[in-house]
Structure formats: C-alpha cells, structure tokens
Amino acid sequence: MQTADDFSLALTALRRRAGLTVREVSRRTGIPSGTLGGYFSGRHLPSLTQPRVLADLLSVLGVGDEEFPTWRDQLARVRRRPGPRPRVSPDQPAEPGADESPGA
C-alpha cells in the first residue's frame, strides 16, 4: 500500500470478503457508520492515536491479531505521505480479484 486510497480500497475489499455492510461493521465495532464510510471511501483514515479502533475494525473484517502490526505500519506510512489524496470510487476493488471468493 502506497497511498491512503490503497488503504481504503484494501479495507473495502476485506469488508466485501467478510460479506458485511458498513452498517453491520458499525454495529459490531461501535464505530459510527459515517466514520466507517469515510474509511472505506478514502475521505479519511483511522487515527494512529486510537489503535483499538483499527484493531477492532480489522478483527471484525477477519484480519488476525498477528497481521495487526503490518496494517498499523501501513496506516502510519500512508498517513505520513504528503499532498492531497485523490478520490476513488468505493466500488473499485483494491486489487484484481479482490472481491472474488477464495477458490473462485
């Protein structure tokens, strides 16, 4: 992941693989759906000062605890990246085949 958009697209791909809507993720994490919508669309990113928010989000999306440090490091890298972030469609997959089921 190189950009904030890459990060948000990767989160969206995880959400889709988990078969969850933004509202379902909100109910399971306690994070407001508007905030989550911003994370998934790339309007803004989770805060590094509240690591539990990112951990709870990743857990609900099916990411194991052992992968959390990698995600946190990626978030720190993209948050430090200077300049404006381009907008992308939240329907665009994070990578080719990101929305496909395993074994598809």
Contact 36, 11 (CB under 8 A): no
Which of 9-13, 42-46, 97-101 has the lowest average pLDDT? 97-101
Q: CA dihedral defined by 74, 77, 80, 81, rounded to 10 degrees?
A: -100
Q: Report if pTM > 0.75.
A: no
What tens digit of pLDDT does each residue of 42-54 get?
888 998 888 899 9
Distance CA(81)–CA(59), nearest Å, equals 26
> Tokens for 97?
């085949």
Return the axis-axis angle of helices 68-80 and 4-18, rounded to nearest 10°: 150
